[in-house]
Amino acid sequence: MPAHKPHQMTASDIVRAIAAGKTTAVAVAEACLARIAEREPQVEAWHYLDPQLVLEQARALDRRGSIGPLQGVPVGIKDIIDTYDMPTEYGTPIHKGRQPQLDAACVALTRRAGGLIMGKTVTTEFANFFPGKTRNPFDPQRTPGGSSSGSGAAVGAEMVPLAIGTQTTASTIRPAAFCGCVGYRPTWGDLRCAGVMEASGSLDTLGLIARSIDDIALYRDVLMGITPEALPADAGAPPRIGFCRSPMWDQCEPETKQLLENCASRLAQAGAAVSDVELPAEFARIEDAHRWISSFEFARNRAWEIDHHWDMISETLRNNRIRNGLDCSEKTYREARAFAERCRLRLDDLFAGYDILLTPAVAGEAPPGLEATGNASFCAIWTTMHVPAVTLPLFTGPKGLPVGAQLVARRDDDRRLMMAARWVQRACA
Q: Which domains does the chain have, with CATH numbers?
A: 6-224 (3.90.1300.10), 240-283+336-428 (3.90.1300.10)
Predicted pLDDT of residue 1: 41
**pLDDT class for 30, splitting at 50, 70, 90?**
very high
Predicted pLDDT of residue 355: 97
Q: What are 67-91's pLDDT values in tens digits?
A: 999 999 999 999 999 999 999 999 9
**pLDDT class for 3, splitting at 50, 70, 90?**
low
Predicted pLDDT of residue 429: 85
Predicted pLDDT of residue 234: 85
Angle between helices 25-43 and 51-63 (to 10 degrees): 160
Q: Please provide the average confidence, as pLDDT, over all residues in the chain.
A: 97
Tell me: pLDDT of 224 over 70.
yes
pLDDT cut 70: percent of the chain above it = 99
Segment 38-48 mean pLDDT = 98
Segment 232-256 mean pLDDT = 94
Segment 159-177 mean pLDDT = 98
Q: What are 281-300's pLDDT values in tens digits?
A: 999 999 999 999 999 999 99
Tell me: pLDDT of 388 over 90.
yes
Tell me: pLDDT of 398 over 60.
yes
Segment 333-341 mean pLDDT = 98
Task: Give catalytic residue positions.
Answer: 78, 147, 171
